Structure 1
Amino acid sequence: MPGEISLLDCLPADWRSGAFLGRVQTAAGPSPILVVEGVAYDMSRVAPTVAQLVEQLPLAASAGEALGPLETLDLPLLSPVDLQCIKACGVTFALSALERVIEERARGDASAAADIRGRLEERVGGSIRAVVPGTPEAAALKAALIEDGLWSQYLEVAIGPDAEVFTKSPVLSTVGLGAEIGIRSDSTWNNPEPEVVLVVNAAGAAIGATLGNDVNLRDFEGRSALLLGKAKDNNASCSLGPLIRLFDGDFSIDDVRNAEVGLTIDGPEGYRLVGVSSMNQISRDPLELVRQTLSEHQYPDGFTLFLGTLFAPVQDRDDPGRGFTHKVGDIVAISTPRLGKLVNKVVTSKDAAPWTFGLTALMTNLATRGLLTVAEKETA
């Protein structure tokens, strides 16, 4: 893989035995790849997009054009999805619920967070971790918190019957391994959100998983939940990769349920932050989140679903009590043994590479390559 980041260093330990989907930038344009037994195959003549490739699974890799062993791949790796909707679930862990309440009560002011965190944790920390969302026990806790004046819209989605599901990013706007990730230039309190991301087909079945960074602006969301769009959806604010690992006899949804997602942030000034998000502490099962996403909605091109994160960085970076926020130049690495490692460098969204290759450009490219007729034949 071109650049400073080695693809081989970012693959799962058992990558030679797993099956993976991804996208590469060829001279002709973006192409979906299928990786089986460590060999990459260009599948564009069979399925011009990853969304179409997903719908044709299981598919023999021999139907594509062999590109050679994955470790020698010299084509730029792109985000592994294309036409799928990019959906995300928030506040799926008790700790993240408390952090959202802190943002809300601090009104986006990081200096006020430490005191609010201590008071809120003392009052509801243990009880909120033990309760199952949507149960009578959760309703009783809600009533008690309302009586104490501590209720919040974030607690509603943390322990109420309905999960938070939102659209993170427009189709084709996500970035992949090694790309720059963006934060708004006018944000002063923000962080990465290291997450496992499910890939779901048009029929609503989860077919695999990848890693994702749901970059979040805590100051914007803290000022008002109505600013969620600006807090979440900015240029280069969503990364995925390195590849989609397909579910098979050796890798299943249980591996997602039990994943330990590591995060390291290395700052240009020598700052280092290390954290772990344990998926077994999630409040709602991943497939329940898929079910709620599909409730009264259809996704004919499939979707990806960020499952949320336990990680909420509070380690001070500059002034005591102000916690963590990104600096330009941060290197963010998200990893788990069975999905590999996703590495990106932080810049402002204004300085990140502009998003110029949208749906019109993709359709034009595929038509120029003579691939749209292939897609029509395959779906006829």
Structure 2
Amino acid sequence: MIGLPQEGLFLGRVWRAGVGPAVVTLRGGRVFDITSRAAPTMRDVLEQADIAGYVAGIAGQDIGSLDDIAAASVEPAGDVTRLLAPNDLQAVKACGVTFARSMIERVIEERAAGDASRAEAIRARVAGAIGDSLRNLVPGSDEAAEVKRLLQAEGLWSQYLEVGIGPDAEVFTKAQPMAAVGYGASVGLHPISKWNNPEPEVVMVVDSTGRIVGATLGNDVNLRDVEGRSALLLGKAKDNNAAASVGPFIRVFDAGFTLDTVRGLELTLTVEGTDGFTLTGRSSMAEISRDPADLVAQTRGRHHQYPDGFVLYCGTMFAPVQDRDGPGQGFTHHLGDVVTIAAPELGRLVNTVRLSTGAPEWTFGASALMKNLSARGLL
């Protein structure tokens, strides 16, 4: 169901019925609650100098099989034991326009001013002018600066090309701490959007010192029409109820799973609609324009600290152009779409598309977490 490999250290979070959120790990297909006074949150576990040694030293409590808990996590109703997003107090950040293919689509969105019906003609013109010339460019290089000069001379320069091949990456806040949803949950579209899509991404997991400790999967739900109208609407396009999905589990770095492994990950995407429509896609980290370590360094440094750490969406090369509702209309979500993002090393992240106003309201924030942990004697 979740498709996690047998090897590796996986950490996650579960809502325990009648109890509240718990930090968990996997042992032989069983879910063990390892929440403790020493590390009551995922943030605290990931701050350990030796994460694997810390987890191995806790007996924990067996709270059920992964398959049973995952099955109960699909759009649950009421107080049931279910999977949560594996991050808790960490900031939820994202980088955009990190792949050439998606960079071109951002230019198209901007030129179309959010109007999907204009996208096909603009796509042909931009592709004819740019082609594959951006694929091997190193952002911020002298060669990239020359391409920028040529594109400006042709009247094709864009703010998206600036962050795609310029020296500075786009870094934005995707969601507030505790707001991300996990495996099985609804993901939300703002009701004003009529042109939108999923974005399958690798999510880096970083502690308070800037150490990259692991990775997971994410769906950076994207409102193409809202951002296309104006880049100043990025916050409205990106940060909505249930618009950030992360999970299913964090895989902690070890000898068999490293940053180099992440650099070669192949993500697959499947969208299955209630209307019988199916969309498939992929995103290859080998084609990213900016190295994940560079994205982390541009997010955190002397210029900006994250005392509770952060998770960082790394962007996607996937940009759907397959027509769904009519010729030249491209792809957009329908309510009820089931989105599956998968990688053999990280498992499967599955969510169902709803409106943000139809997804469960976000009511359990950082203050609620602190009160809950205090009542359980964990603070």
Amino acid at match of 2:364: F
Task: Work out whether 1:147 is the aligned partner of 2:153.
Answer: yes
Question: Partner of 2:130: helix, strand, or coil?
Answer: helix
State the superposition RMSD in angstroms.
Answer: 1.3
Q: Report the CA distance between 1:89 and its aligned residue.
A: 0.4
Match of 2:43 in 1: 51
TM-score, scaled to structure 2: 0.93
Q: Report the CA distance between 1:219 and its aligned residue.
A: 0.3
Amino acid at match of 1:233: D
Separation in structure 2 between the aligned mates of residue 356 and residue 124 of structure 1, nearest angstrom: 46
Equivalent residues of 1:17, 1:37 under 8 A apart:
no
Task: Work out whether 1:18 is the aligned partner of 2:8.
Answer: yes
Q: Report the CA distance between 1:126 and its aligned residue.
A: 1.5
Match of 2:269 in 1: 263
Q: 1:337 aligns with which of 328, 332, 344?
A: 344
Question: Partner of 2:360: helix, strand, or coil?
Answer: coil
Equivalent residues of 2:33, 2:63 under 8 A apart:
no
Separation in structure 2 between the aligned mates of residue 292 and residue 72 of structure 1, nearest angstrom: 38
Separation in structure 1 between the aligned mates of residue 12 and residue 66 of structure 2, nearest angstrom: 14
Question: Partner of 1:63: helix, strand, or coil?
Answer: coil
Match of 1:29 in 2: 20
Equivalent residues of 1:41, 1:61 under 8 A apart:
no
Match of 2:181 in 1: 175
Q: Report the CA distance between 1:11 and its aligned residue.
A: 2.7
TM-score, scaled to structure 1: 0.93
Task: Work out whether 1:204 is the aligned partner of 2:204.
Answer: no
Q: 1:93 to 1:270 in 2, by over 3 A?
A: same
Task: Work out whether 1:110 is the aligned partner of 2:116.
Answer: yes
Q: Report the CA distance between 1:130 and its aligned residue.
A: 2.1
Amino acid at match of 1:300: P
Separation in structure 1 between the aligned mates of residue 141 and residue 160 of structure 2, nearest angstrom: 17
Separation in structure 1 between the aligned mates of residue 28 and residue 276 of structure 2, nearest angstrom: 39
Amino acid at match of 2:361: P
Q: Report the CA distance between 1:62 and its aligned residue.
A: 3.8
Task: Work out whether 1:40 is the aligned partner of 2:47.
Answer: no
Match of 2:77 in 1: none
Match of 1:378 in 2: none
Q: Report the CA distance between 1:228 and its aligned residue.
A: 0.2
Aligned residues: 362
Match of 1:375 in 2: none
Query: Counterparts in 2 of 1:168-247, with a 5 A limit?
Result: 168-247=174-253
Amino acid at match of 1:168: K
- Structure 1, unaligned runs of 5 or more: 1-8, 373-380
Separation in structure 2 between the aligned mates of residue 229 and residue 288 of structure 1, nearest angstrom: 23
Match of 1:4 in 2: none
Match of 2:321 in 1: 314
Question: Partner of 2:249: helix, strand, or coil?
Answer: strand
Equivalent residues of 1:34, 1:42 under 8 A apart:
yes
Question: Partner of 2:325: helix, strand, or coil?
Answer: coil
Q: Report the CA distance between 1:125 and its aligned residue.
A: 2.1
Equivalent residues of 2:266, 2:343 under 8 A apart:
yes
Q: 1:97 to 1:335 in 2, by over 3 A?
A: same
Match of 1:80 in 2: 86
Separation in structure 2 between the aligned mates of residue 254 and residue 194 of structure 1, nearest angstrom: 19
Q: Report the CA distance between 1:38 and its aligned residue.
A: 4.3
Identity %: 56
Match of 1:249 in 2: 255
Amino acid at match of 1:17: E
Task: Work out whether 1:356 is the aligned partner of 2:363.
Answer: yes
Q: Report the CA distance between 1:60 and its aligned residue.
A: 3.5
Match of 2:60 in 1: 65
Match of 2:305 in 1: 298
Task: Work out whether 1:273 is the aligned partner of 2:279.
Answer: yes
Equivalent residues of 2:92, 2:173 under 8 A apart:
yes
- Structure 2, unaligned runs of 5 or more: 70-80
Amino acid at match of 2:207: N
Amino acid at match of 2:126: L
Equivalent residues of 1:67, 1:73 under 8 A apart:
no
Separation in structure 1 between the aligned mates of residue 95 and residue 218 of structure 2, nearest angstrom: 12
Equivalent residues of 2:203, 2:311 under 8 A apart:
yes
Q: 1:360 to 1:60 in 2, by over 3 A?
A: closer
Post-superposition CA distance 1:87-144 (Å, at most 9, x none) = 0000000011100000000000000000111110111122111211110000000000
Post-superposition CA distance 1:8-32 (Å, at most 9, x none) = x1132x2x32101100111211011
Which runs of 4 or more aligned residues in structure 1 lie more than 6 Å from their structure 2 counterparts after TM superposition? none
Equivalent residues of 1:36, 1:61 under 8 A apart:
no
Separation in structure 1 between the aligned mates of residue 136 and residue 377 of structure 2, nearest angstrom: 56
Q: Report the CA distance between 1:70 and its aligned residue.
A: 4.4
Q: Report the CA distance between 1:41 and its aligned residue.
A: 2.6
Post-superposition CA distance 1:21-58 (Å, at most 9, x none) = 10011121101112355443312114111000111223
Question: Partner of 1:312: helix, strand, or coil?
Answer: coil
